[in-house]
Amino acid sequence: MTKPLRLGIAGLGTVGTGVVKIVRQKADLLAARAGRPVAISAVSARTRDKDRGVSLSDYTWEDDPVALATRDDVDVFVELMGGSDGPAKAATEAAITAGKDVVTANKAMLAHHGQALATAAETAGRVLRFEAAVAGGIPVVKALTEGLAGNDVTRVMGVMNGTCNYILTRMQATGQGYNALFEEADKLGYLEADPNLDVGGIDAGHKLALLSSIAFGTQVNFNDVELEGIQSITLEDIKHAADMGYRIKLLGVAQLTGRGLEQRMSPCLVPESSPLGQLEGGTNMVVLEGDMVEQIVLRGPGAGEGPTASAVMSDVMDIARGIRVSTFGQPASGLQQATAARASTPAPFYLRMDLEDKPGALAKVATVLGDAGISIDRMRQYRHDDTTAPVLIVTHKTTRTALDSALDAMGKLDVMASSPVALRIETV
C-alpha cells in the first residue's frame, strides 16, 4: 500500500476542527485524488477536554506544538493556532528544521516573517504553503502562483475582510449606523478578539501584503501597507455614495509602478454596478489583472470552518501529490526588496466635512482646494443646523499628494467644525 501522508495539526479551533472533519469524512475521496491516503498522526491545542464535535481519540495528543512539529510520525505540520509570533512561529520554525513541510492559515505570521520562513523552508528543501491565509475558500494564492504564472500582473485589488463588508453592506440595507452594526457583528462572532484587526484594516492588510509578494516578486513588507479602517464611515457617507451610484468598500489595492510598490487598504467608493459594488455580506472578492489574461474576478466565502478548511486541504493535497511550489511563487532568494510608493495614479475623491456656519466658510475651502490644483466636480450641502453646515464635495481627478496638501491646509482654517473624511473613488 502507498505510504500515507501523515499530518500533525496544531490548533483545533474552527478551522482545525474543519480539517479533522474533512480527513475523517472524506478519506476515500482524498486517497483517490492524491494517489495515497491522508492521515492524522497527532494534534495539539490549548484545551484537551473541549467538545469539538468530532472524535480525536485516534490521534496522539501533544500539549506542546513544538513537540508535535518535530514528531517522527508527522510529514506535514499544519499550523492553525494564529498569532504573528509565539507558539505558532516557534513551532513552524521547529517543523522546518526537523524536515517537515508546513501548511498554515496564519496571515499575520507570514506578513511579518514570511521572507525569513520561506527562505528557511526552501533552504531545507521543504515547502511552506498558505492558501487558507488569504480570502478563505477562494483559491487566490494558487491562481497567482500557478494559474497566472505566465502573466506580468499589473494590479491586485479586492475586498478581503468579510466583517468589514458585512458592516458596510448592512449599514446600507438597514439604515443603522456603524456602532450598531459593529455590535451586531460582534454578537454573531464575526470580529477578532482584537476588533481593530478587522475594522482597522490590519487583517486585510496582512492578506494584501502576501498577495503583493506573489504578484510582483517582492519580499513581503506589511509595514509599507497604507492602512485606514472603516471606523470613520457614517451612515451619511453610505447614503451620499448611493445617491451618486457608488458603494463604499474596504478595498485593498496593490500595483508596481516606476516609483515603487503601492499597497493600500482603505475605504473607497466603487461603482454600484461593478462586481465589487454588488458584493454583499461577509463574502470576499479578489480582482487580478495581468497583461495576458486581462482581468479575472474570484468571489467566495472569506472565512468559516468549511471554506477555510477546504483551503488548508488544497495545500495538503498538493503535497500529497508531490507538487512542490516555492512559497511566494518563485524562490525566496530571488524576491526583490521593493521601494514603497504612495498611489500616484490620479483619481477623483469624495470629501465630507462639517463647516462652521460662518459667511465665506465654503469659499475658504474652495480656495484651499484651488491652491492645491484640485478642481471641484460637484458639491452638495445637506442638513443644516444653527452652528454647522455639512458639505459634500467630489473632486475631479487629483493625486493623493495634492489632496493631502489641501487637507493639511484645511486643518488650519478657522471654519472647520470637524476633520474632513476623504475617500478615493476607485476605477474597477
Output the DSSP codes for 99-137. Answer: T-EEEE--HHHHHHHHHHHHHHHHHTT--EE-GGGSSTT
pLDDT of residue 383: 66
Please, what sign has the CA dihedral across residues 26, 285, 79, 219? positive
- For 285-295, write each residue's pLDDT tens digit: 999 999 999 99
Angle (CA) 53-58-62 rounded to 5° is 90
Q: Facing residues of 247 across strands?
A: 270
The answer to whether residue 207 is catalytic is: yes
Alpha-carbon gap, residue 420 to 237, rounded angstroms: 12
Confidence of residue 427 (pLDDT cuts 50, 70, 90): confident
Q: Please say if the pLDDT value at position 194 is more than 90.
A: no
pLDDT tens profile 260-282:
999 999 999 999 999 999 999 88
Residue 11 has pLDDT above 90, yes or no: yes
Q: Phi/psi at 281 (nearest 5 deg)?
A: 60, -145
Annotated binding-site ranges for NADPH:
107
The mean of the pLDDT values for the chain is 94
Q: How far apart are CA 205 and CA 324, in angstroms?
A: 27
CA–CA gap between residue 39 and residue 19 (Å, rounded): 11
How big is the chain by its Cα radius of gyration, in Å? 24
Instruction: Say how far apart CA 352 and CA 290 lie, in whole Å.
Output: 35
Show the domains of the chain with their CATH numbers.
5-104 (3.40.50.720), 140-301 (3.30.360.10), 349-425 (3.30.70.260)
Annotated active-site residue in 89, 100, 142, 207: 207
Residue 393: beta bridge partners? 351, 379
* Spatial separation of the C-alpha atoms in residues 196 and 191, rounded to whole Å: 9
Q: Which residues pair with 235 in a beta bridge?
A: none
Dihedrals phi, psi of 132, to nearest 5 degrees: -75, -5
Q: How far apart are the first and last CA of the chain?
A: 52
Report the alpha-carbon distance of residue 380 to residue 179 in Å, rounded: 26
Packing angle of the helix pair 27-34, 305-320 (nearest 10 deg): 40
Taking only the tens place, the pLDDT of each residue in 90-146 is: 999 999 999 999 999 999 999 999 999 999 999 999 999 999 999 989 999 999 999
pLDDT given at position 388: 84
Which among 5, 4, 82 has a CA at the least distance from the CA of 319?
5
Give the pLDDT confidence of 367-400 residue by residue, as tens digits: 999 999 999 999 888 766 668 888 899 999 999 9
CA distances 298 to 141, 308, 414, Å, are 11, 15, 47
What gap in Å lies between CA 4 and CA 6, rounded to an integer? Answer: 6
Name the band, by pLDDT with cuts 50, 70 and 90, for residue 343.
confident
